[in-house]
């Protein structure tokens, strides 16, 4: 696991955008995994800037989102499909038809989840998955207690997550849907490169557990310790509980520039 401690979110966005740009430059048909939430915003903004300057193009890229609320109406602004459209799709040159997400309005949830798994497999799997992390250590919407081998399925959101996400629903936790569809932890772990961003003191405990904790369903992101290619980009506040913070900082500073993300 590579841990990079940055000065600010703009720098984190630039580093993550570098990794995505390198991937797409090497393979214009790459498959990327998109995440919602505030953490990836700096990546999307930086990628939009580079697309505008003609540095990178998503014209042939396929994208799969991590998760979706169950039951939100088609035009609800917080439906994750609409969030991704607003935050990413409209800012870059990706074909909206190449952006896929689990169907939170499906009448047959199990079939929709199975179809989503099949679509990811048919696309050749995800080359690079962008991730945020919940304050309770969730990735996607895999809440504490999730099977570390899980596939795309329905989950019940915790009170903590509904309270964290209430800011998107007028501050009312009860307005946040109770259920979601999410790629499973096994699904996420199949992506070839995982790129996780986190910032702020509120994420410090989750980041500590992710990087240094025992691997446990209690902190689902801790399973990333078992993945061969993970990059964690965090600010100093999110790194504030890391015992190994100075080791990570020194290691990254000593890296030749061309080997940095």
Active-site residue among 68, 103, 143, 164?
143
DSSP code of residue 87: I
Nearer to ligand GLP, 57 or 135 (CB): 135
Q: Using CB positions, name the residue nearest to ligand GLP.
A: 132
Note whether 68 and 33 are within 8 A (CB): no
Q: Minimal distance in Å, beta carbon 202 to ligand GLP?
A: 8
HSE-CB of 154 using CA atoms within 13 angstroms: 16
One DSSP character per residue, 208-254 reads HHHHHSPPBTTBGGGGGGG-SSEEEEEETTTTTT-TTHHHHHHHHHT
Alpha carbon 68 to chain centroid, angstroms: 13
Instruction: Round to whole Å and give the CA distance between 67 and 101.
Output: 7
Using DSSP's 3-state secondary structure scheme, residue 63 falls into: strand
Is 45 among the residues known to form the active site? no
Nearer to ligand GLP, 64 or 141 (CB): 141
According to DSSP, the β-strands at 128-131 and 193-198 are: parallel
DSSP code of residue 8: S
Q: Minimal distance in Å, beta carbon 69 to ligand GLP?
A: 9
Active-site residue among 67, 127, 164, 235?
67
Q: Which residues contact ligand GLP (rule: CB under 6 A)?
A: 35-39, 66-67, 132-134, 140-141, 161, 165
Nearer to ligand GLP, 62 or 165 (CB): 165
Nearer to ligand GLP, 59 or 218 (CB): 218
HSE-CB of 206 using CA atoms within 13 angstroms: 23
Q: Minimal distance in Å, beta carbon 38 to ligand GLP?
A: 4
Is 67 among the residues known to form the active site? yes
Active-site residue among 138, 164, 193, 235?
138
Which sign does the torsion angle of CA 110, 81, 44, 138 carry? negative
Choose among 232, 240, 244: nearest CA to 197: 232
Q: Minimal distance in Å, beta carbon 255 to ligand GLP?
A: 26
Nearer to ligand GLP, 41 or 57 (CB): 41
Q: Minimal distance in Å, beta carbon 160 to ligand GLP?
A: 10
Catalytic positions, written as ranges:
67, 136, 138, 143
């Amino acid at each position: 696991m590579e841990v990079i401690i940055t000065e600010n979110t703009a720098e984190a966005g630039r580093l993550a955008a570098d990794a995505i740009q390198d991937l797409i430059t090497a393979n214009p048909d790459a498959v990327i995994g998109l995440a919602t939430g505030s953490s990836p915003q700096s990546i999307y903004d930086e990628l939009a800037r580079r697309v505008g300057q003609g540095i990178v193009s998503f014209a042939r890229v396929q994208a799969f989102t991590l998760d979706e609320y169950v039951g939100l109406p088609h035009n609800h602004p917080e439906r994750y499909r609409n969030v991704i459209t607003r935050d990413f799709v409209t800012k870059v040159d990706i074909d909206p038809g190449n952006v896929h997400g689990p169907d939170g309005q499906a009448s047959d949830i199990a079939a929709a989840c199975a179809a989503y798994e099949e679509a990811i497999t048919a696309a050749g799997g995800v080359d690079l998955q962008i991730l945020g992390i919940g304050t309770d250590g969730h990735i996607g919407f895999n809440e504490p207690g999730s099977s570390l081998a899980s596939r795309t399925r329905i989950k019940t959101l915790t009170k903590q997550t509904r309270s964290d996400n209430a800011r998107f629903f007028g501050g009312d936790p009860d307005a946040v849907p109770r259920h979601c569809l999410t790629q499973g932890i096994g699904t996420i772990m199949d992506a070839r490169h995982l790129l996780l961003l986190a910032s702020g003191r509120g994420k410090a405990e989750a980041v500590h557990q992710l990087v240094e904790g025992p691997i446990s369903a209690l902190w689902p992101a801790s399973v990333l310790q078992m993945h061969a290619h993970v990059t964690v980009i965090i600010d100093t506040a999110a790194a504030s509980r890391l015992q190994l913070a100075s080791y990570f900082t020194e290691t990254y500073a000593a890296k030749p520039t061309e080997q940095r993300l």
